[in-house]
Amino acid sequence: MLWTHYSERVTDIGTLRETFAIGSLSESHNVEYGKAQGDFKVDGGRSKDFSQIAGVKDSYVFADDWDMPDGAKLPLWMLGFLY
């Protein structure tokens, strides 16, 4: 992200991931903090896994170290296409 290049402070990578995801999704969806499961809820961070969303219908894990979609695990960069 461009702001980290020019920033003197060290930015937490998990914060950057979530900021990018929320910014991309909030353009056309209602995004709220996930109180019970996951990081946030769309329409209704650190290393994440499927245990956080087990049993949650239509849930996904966005990973920044992932190149191609694989079931419910999706690459974070795909959210950029939502603009």
**Could you list the pLDDT tens digit for every one of the 83 residues in the chain?**
455 555 667 678 888 888 888 888 888 878 877 666 667 777 654 455 677 777 778 788 888 888 999 888 889 899 888 77
Question: Which are the contacts of 41, defined by CB distance < 8 A and separation ≥ 6?
Answer: 31, 32, 33, 34
What ranges do the domains of the chain cover?
2-82
Match 């461009």 to its residue by tokens: 2
Task: Please give the radius of gyration of the chain, using alpha carbons only, rounded to the nearest integer.
Answer: 13
Distance CA 78, CA 9 (A): 27
pTM for this predicted structure: 0.61
